[in-house]
Amino acid sequence: MPHDFMPGLAGIPAAKSSISDVDGQRGVLEYRGIRVEELCLRSSYLETAYLLLFGHLPTQPQFARWHEDILHHRRIKFKIIDLLKCLPEQGHPMDALQAAVAALGMFYPGRNVQDIENNYWSAVRLVAKLPTIVAAWARLRHGDEYISPRDDLGFSENFLYMLTETVPLPLWGDIFDDCLILHAEHTMNASTFTGMVTASTLADPYTVVASSIGALKGPLHGGANEEVVEMLKKIGKPGKARPYLEEQVRAKQRLMGFGHRVYKVKDPRATILQGLCERLFKECGTSPLYEVALEVERVAEELLKGKGIYPNVDFYSGIVYDKMRIETDLFTPLFAMARVSGWVAHWLEQLRENKLFRPDQIYSGEHGQPYVPIEQR
């Protein structure tokens, strides 16, 4: 049956899912029916991850077990640390993360993805170990020692501790946790779809997540958060935002951190992240990048009026991380270590009614061509 070709599969449903939903006209994002604003206010990343993975908020005993299981699986094997040590230190952290996650699958080989018990432990390991890998790489590449997780610290506090060897201010832990909640899941985006295609072949979950990490790296997806901070640094001062943006628009260049396939209003995550910036600055002083960002948003609204292009999740997240003195090229790995819960939730959902992804194409080449010997070409 012939179909209309939709570049980028825009608007084509690729799955039925009950994990999250976006209303792009009203700017609403829900995980399992609960708005992200509510989750940021009342939940934690670890509880939100449980909600995404298992479909409901945990009871106290369920959460206690989940928390305990995560605590026990945060450490990484010394061979993974050795693997990271062997990678070129100037390489991108997303590549190091992808390599390490693919290698995890070699240590935990349970290939039977119909084994529910094994799938639970895969989910635990992936949620627990990604932050440890990101923090380990961030230190090892500078010649610093790997820092083991600390069991007395919360999920986000522990990550910041493993990164800096300093227990962060409680406010930093809270704000970082909200950032992880906001990045945990987002319907049928490119990296989730990539993971689902891999999952549909019944590949193991480490391979699924490694393929999603690859898709997240690109600047049209998760990589945009790095580019936003680079752009804001390049602009330098609020007064320089207008000439910079006018030139970008004239040259038909895309503004990083703006625009979205689904949202036609400001991304609700951008609004929450902007609030987080302000909470952070109240305690730690403002950031010059934030002043530039506000002006960029104002001018962009004027210049791109009518196109439905507003700040997305990547516009303000980097400003929070930059204020926490996290290196710019780690921003996308932070996205990945949050999004892993969404990827794994989609993997589990996909397995329940799996069908191999095998889309069609519209062939636009020739038929019946002769083979011309090389010397006659």
Ligand X SMILES: CC(C)(COP(=O)(O)OP(=O)(O)OC[C@H]1O[C@@H](n2cnc3c(N)ncnc32)[C@H](O)[C@@H]1OP(=O)(O)O)[C@@H](O)C(=O)NCCC(=O)NCCS
Tell me which residues touch ligand X (CB under 6 A). 8, 220-221, 224, 254-261, 304, 307, 309, 312-314
Q: Provide the minimum distance between the beta carbon of 223 and ligand X in the complex, in angstroms, as a whole number.
A: 8
> Helix or strand or coil: residue 31?
strand
Closest to ligand X by CB, 174 vs 314, is 314
- From the candidates 183, 186, 260, 346, which is the catalytic residue? 260
List the structure tokens of 167. 């227990």
Question: Three-class SS of residue 361?
Answer: coil
Annotated catalytic residue 69: no
Token readout for 4 is 């209309």
d(CA 83, CA 85): 5
Known catalytic residue at 314: yes
- From the DSSP assignment, how many helices (H) and strands (E) are in the chain? 16, 3
Maximum Cα–Cα distance for the chain, whole Å? Answer: 76
Q: Identify the CA nearest to 270 among candidates 208, 320, 344, 217.
A: 320
122 versus 187: smaller Cβ distance to ligand X: 187
Smaller CB separation from ligand X, 125 or 186: 186
The DSSP secondary-structure symbol of 73 reads T
Tell me, what amino acid is at 26? R
In angstroms, what is the minimal distance from the CB of 369 to ligand X?
34
Please identify, using beta-carbon distances, which residue of 113 and 277 lies nearer to ligand X: 277
How far is residue 178's CA from residue 163's CA, in Å, rounded to a whole number? 18
Give the CB-nearest residue to ligand X: 259
Which residues are CB-contacts of 144 (< 8 A; sequence separation ≥ 6)? none
Catalytic annotation, pick one of 177, 178, 314, 322: 314
Where does the chain show beta strands of DSSP type E? 20-23, 28-31, 34-35
Minimal distance in Å, beta carbon 151 to ligand X?
Answer: 35
Beta carbon nearer to ligand X, 85 or 264: 264
Look at residues 276, 301, 309, 263 and name the one whose alpha carbon lies nearest to residue 27: 263
φ, ψ (nearest 5 deg) of residue 77: -70, 150
Residue 132 or 225 having the CB closest to ligand X: 225
- Give the ranges where 141-267 is alpha helix by DSSP (H): 155-164, 170-183, 190-200, 205-216, 224-235, 241-250
Judged by beta carbon, residue 93 or residue 259, the one nearer ligand X is 259
- Read off φ and ψ for residue 316, nearest 5 degrees: -100, -15
User: 189 near 209, Cβ under 8 Å?
Assistant: no
Spatial separation of the C-alpha atoms in residues 348 and 123, rounded to whole Å: 9
- Amino acid, res. 62: Q
Rounded to the nearest whole angstrom, what is the least distance from the CB of residue 296 to ligand X in the complex? 11
Q: Provide the annotated active-site residues.
A: 260, 314
